[in-house]
Amino acid sequence: MAFTDDSVRSKLSGLVDTQESIVTVSQWVLFHRRHADRVAQLWMQRLKESSTPSKRLNYLYLANEVAQQSKIRKKDDFLHAFAPIIADATATAYKGASFEIQQKIRRVVEVWRARAIFEEPILAAVESRIDELDRNRGSGKKNLLGGQLFGGSSSIPMELKTLAELQGSLSKADLTARPTLNTATKEYAKHADPDSTAPSPPVRAAQLSTLIKNLAAAESQVADVIKARHATILELEKLIAAQKEALAVEEDQRIKLDSQKAEIEAERREVEDQIRKGLSAHDSATPTEDVPLVAGEEPTRPAPETLTPPPPEAETFTPPSLHPAPPEFTTTTGADLIAEQPPSHEEPPPNMDPYHATTAVVGMIHPRPQSLSPANVNGVNGGYGTAKKRKLNDEFDAFQSGDAMDGIDDDVAQMLERE
């Protein structure tokens, strides 16, 4: 099929939402890449005339296929043709579409950035238009695009806002001037071709007039690009000057801080030397008197002393008898039993002590009860138990009265009284 405007419109009208249809139309369009500018204009016109968002999405899919195939084949005709209008076309397809279709359009834009199908300024313009539509609508459903695809911040610093605006104007002017410049360049090359057949003078005059208009339009648009670029460079120079000024101040601060740090380090070394000298002097010196405490300083704790248990109190006790006392005997009559003394074959020598003699006489006259008799003649502690000891004075209390002296000789009584 020969290339005509009607053939292009026919192909675009028959486009449906299938991979086969999109690939078939894109192959036909790529075949006529010499008419890329005209195809792009008709494509943009058809996209704006479409009444349904799904149809506009199909046209965007077609542009995506043509652009990617041109990138793969390294044929930039359609890339240059779509560059000036792709931002407006994407915004037109995005505006008024459902959330599902908007997400599909955003995925297409993400593919363009990931594969670098278009240049950075063009992609930035596309994302800016989409973000602007989201902000105006307040949907809050926009996804991250461009530098924001990987979590970057969408906010622009205050210092770079002017530069961003100038860069946007520059990109727009460049995109607008590029098709006009390409057309003027091609027409001039065709006119300057020595092998071309010269037309008749009236036709040649008309061609020259058209060429002059195209060259003038291209010159005007290039002048706009130059103006925008100068403004961008001026803003960059301002930013560079501001950064250089801030850099000089920061360099001075760094030098000052480095000097202060060296001064403090020297002072620290001096203090550490004094501390080491003081410790050495303190270790070598022998203190002779108590050092007064400094305010806020705790006194030194005394060395702990080992605890010595108190000596045990002297206790008086009677060692147990080596010969236990014989068991006591009882009778049914209740009478006191007299312990039977073992027979002794050794008689003690006569005792001439008057006291013992008197005691013996009294004992024969008034025998003591059994409870006062010695429990064990051969026992410990003089033969008497501790509980049965009595003073001798108590034994003679009975003899102090007159009744006790009855029946005793006068000589013996006088002797007892003298005692």
Domain-embedded: residue 218? yes
378, part of any domain: yes
CB 138 within 8 A of CB 171: no
Inside any domain, residue 31: yes
Assigned domain for 26 exists: yes
Please list the alpha-helical segments (H only) found in 285-373.
354-365
> What is the model's pLDDT at position 223?
92
* Residue-wise pLDDT tens digits, 207-255: 888 889 889 988 998 999 999 999 999 999 999 999 999 999 999 999 9
Res. 267: pLDDT tops 90: yes
Domain boundary residue among 154, 185, 219? Answer: 154
Per-residue pLDDT of 339-351, as tens digits, reads 556 565 555 555 5
For residue 371, give the amino acid letter.
S
The mean pLDDT of the chain is 75
- C-alpha 134/C-alpha 127 separation (Å) is 11
pLDDT: which is higher, 40 or 284: 40
- Grade residue 189 by pLDDT with cuts at 50, 70 and 90: confident
Are 220 and 184 contained in the same domain?
yes
Distance in angstroms (rounded) separating the CA atoms of residues 332 and 330:
7
- pLDDT of res. 405: 59
Q: pLDDT tens digit string along 356-410?
A: 555 555 455 555 555 444 444 444 444 444 444 455 455 555 445 555 556 667 7
Q: Would you say residue 221 lies in a domain? A: yes
User: Which of 27 and 390 is assigned the larger pLDDT?
Assistant: 27
Among 272, 307, 324, the domain boundary falls at 272
Give yes or no: residues 218 and 134 share one domain: no
Q: Are residues 118 and 168 in the same domain?
A: no
Domain count, the chain: 3
Residue 297 counted as domain residue = no
d(CA 103, CA 100): 5
Residue 397 has what pLDDT? 53
SS3 272: helix
Give the pLDDT mean for 298-309.
62
56 with 104: CB under 8 angstroms? no
Identify the three-state secondary structure at position 394.
helix
Give dist(CA 9, CA 70) in Å, integer: 21
- State the average pLDDT over residues 180-203: 84
pLDDT at 126 over 60: yes
Cα-based angle 97, 103, 109 (whole degrees, multiple of 5): 105
Residues 182 and 252 in one domain: yes
- Name the token pair of 318: 């009677």
Q: Which of 59-68, 156-165, 186-195, 406-415 has the lowest mean pLDDT?
A: 406-415
Percent of the chain with pLDDT over 70: 65
Check pLDDT > 90 for residue 173.
no
Q: Are residues 23 and 70 in the same domain?
A: yes
Same domain? For 4 and 142 the reply is yes
Residue 43 near residue 63 (C-beta atoms within 8 A): yes
What whole-number percentage of the chain has pLDDT above 90? 22
Alpha-carbon distance values, 191 to 60, 181, 187, 205, 211 (Å): 36, 15, 6, 12, 9
Report which of 144, 146, 54, 133 is spatially closest to residue 91, judged by C-alpha positions.
Answer: 133
Q: Compute the half-sphere exposure of residue 51: CA atoms within 13 Å on the CB side of its CA.
A: 0
120-135 mean pLDDT = 87
Asked if residue 22 and residue 133 are part of one domain, the reply reads: yes
Shared-domain flag, residues 36 and 140: yes
Q: Please give the C-alpha separations between residue 26 and each of 8, 16, 66, 331, 348, in angstroms, as whole numbers.
A: 11, 12, 6, 147, 159
Report the pLDDT value the prediction gives residue 140, as an integer from 0 to 100.
45
- Residues 138, 247: one domain? no
pLDDT tens digits, one per residue of 49-58: 888 889 999 9
Domain with 373, as residue range(s), is 354-418
More confident residue, 265 or 84: 265
* pLDDT for the residue numbered 240: 94
> Are the beta carbons of 231 and 163 closer than 8 angstroms?
no
- Please indicate, yes or no, if residue 12 is contained in any of the structural domains: yes
- Are residues 4 and 140 part of one domain? yes
Asked if 120 and 231 sit in the same domain, the reply is no
On whether both 17 and 129 belong to a single domain, the answer is: yes
State residue 265's pLDDT score: 95
pLDDT of residue 141: 45
Among 254, 272, 290, give the residue marking a domain's end: 272
- What is the CATH number for 131? 1.25.40.90
Asked if the structure places residue 283 within a domain, the reply is no
